[in-house]
Amino acid sequence: MVGCRTAMLRFGNIGLSLSTSRTLIGSLTRLRIESVRSRGLGFGSGHARKTTGSGCASLSANRSGVVSPVPAGQGEEIELLDSIEDDHGGVLVEMEVPMSSGKFVSCLRASMLGWKQQGKRGVWLKLPIALANLVQPAVEEGFQYHHAEPSYLMLVYWIPATKNTLPINATHRVGVGAFVMNDKGEVLAVQERSGKLRGSGLWKFPTGVVDQGEDIFAGAIREVKEETGIDTEFLEVLAFRQSHMSFFEKSDLFFVCMLRPLSFDILKQESEIEAAQWMPIKEFAAQPSAQKHELLKHIIDAGWARAQKLYTGLSPVCIKSAFTDRQSYLYLNDRGLNPLSCNDSEKS
C-alpha cells in the first residue's frame, strides 16, 4: 500500500485536509473537513458542513493560494466521488450506488475541490432514474441540465471562470425517405395510418427515423422492410434537407435515398402504414397533392433522373475512422474523381 500523507487546504476560515499519496492531489482518495467557522465552502449555491475528526501531517492554502505546513487537525472522512477523466480536461462521474442527499453533497463538494485543484474544466454528472433524489442537490450546487435519456439524466458544471465550451446536447434528428423503383418504372408507394397525412389519400414514399447508432443506408433499408416487407439494396443518397423542429428544439436532417428492390411481393405489416403498392411513377407524380408538396415533387424529379442515369447522388464508401473502431461511411459522388496519391502531391 502506498504511504499516505494528509494535506489541509485552508480558505479563509475553512480548513480542509486531504489524504494524498506522492502528490497533493494526484492519488487523492479521502478528504477530511477539519473545521468550518464560517457558513462553509460552497460550490454553486451550497455550503460545506462543519465536522471534526483526526488527521496526520497537513498543508494549508491561504486566499492567495500559497500552500504552507500547519498542524494536523481533526476531521471526519468524506469519500470522493469515483470519476474518470475525459479527453478534454474534464471528468465524468457516473453514479450507481444509492446515497443520501446529505452525503452526496459532502462528497460532491470535496470532489469539486480536488478537481479545481487539478485544473479540471468540465464535470459531467450522470444520474440514473434510481438516484433521482440527487438531482435537486446537484442543481443547488450549481450543476445544470445537459440532456435526458429514458434511463438517466446528465448534468454538467463548468469550473473555470472562462467561456463554457462544453458541447451542447445532440441537436439533430435524422430521417430517411426511400425512392424504390422496379424495372417496370413503378415506385413503391405507401399511405400513412397516422400523422398529418392520415386520411388525405396521398401516396408517398416510405419514410422513417434512423435509430441511434444506425447508418443512414441501413435505416432506409430497415424502414422499407418494416413498412412494406420489401427487401432492398441501397444505391445512393439523392439529396437531403434540413429543417427546424420547434417543439423538440432540434433540427431535422432528412435524407432521400435511392434503393433497388430485391423482392417484389408486398407483405401486410402491422405498422403505421395503412396501405402499400407498386405504382407507375407518372401516376404517382400526377397526384394533385404531390404537386402541392414541393419536397415530394423534387424527390420524384431526382429519383426519375437517377433512374434515367441523368443524375448521380452520393454513394457510401466504407472508411476507417481515427476516432473509433466502429465501421463508418463517407457519402460522396465519385463521378469524375481523380484520386490524388501522396506521390502525385509531392511531385506537384
84-102 residue pLDDT tens:
998 889 999 999 999 999 9
Helix or strand run (H / E) with residue 60: strand 58-61
Residue in the structure block whose three cell numbers are 431526382: 302
Q: Which residues pair with 79 in a beta bridge?
A: 30
**pLDDT the model gives residue 6:** 38
pLDDT tens for 283-333 read: 999 998 787 888 889 999 999 999 999 999 999 988 887 777 778 888 998
User: How many whole angstroms separate alpha carbon 11 and alpha carbon 17?
Assistant: 11
Give domain limits for the chain: 5-79, 84-158, 172-307
| pLDDT classification of 43: cutoffs 50, 70, 90 | very low
This prediction's pTM: 0.62
- In this structure, whether the domain defined by 84-158 belongs to CATH 3.40.630.30 is answered with yes
State the average pLDDT over residues 177-202. 89
Q: Looking at per-residue confidence, does 311 or 77 come out higher?
A: 311
Closest CA to 36 of 18, 19, 53, 48: 48
φ, ψ for residue 215, nearest 5 deg: -75, 155
Average pLDDT, the chain: 77
DSSP 273: E
pLDDT for 195 beyond 80: no
pLDDT for 52 beyond 60: no
State the average pLDDT over residues 113-137. 96
**pLDDT the model gives residue 76:** 58
User: How many whole angstroms separate alpha carbon 328 and alpha carbon 321?
Assistant: 7
Q: Which residues pair with 176 in a beta bridge?
A: 208, 255
pLDDT tens for 156-180 read: 999 999 999 898 887 788 999 999 9
**pLDDT the model gives residue 335:** 78
User: How many whole angstroms separate alpha carbon 329 and alpha carbon 255?
Assistant: 15
| Grid coordinates belonging to 17 | 485536509
- In this structure, whether the domain defined by 172-307 belongs to CATH 3.90.79.10 is answered with yes
How many beta carbons lie within 10 A of that of residue 199, not counting itself?
Answer: 12
Pairing type for strands 250-261 and 172-180 reads parallel
pLDDT for 183 beyond 80: yes
Strand, coil or helix: 118: coil
State the average pLDDT over residues 222-249. 88
Topology match between the domains 84-158 and 172-307 = no
**pLDDT the model gives residue 280:** 97
User: How many whole angstroms separate alpha carbon 262 and alpha carbon 221?
Assistant: 11
| Grid coordinates belonging to 319 | 472508411
Residue in the structure block whose three cell numbers are 397525412: 197
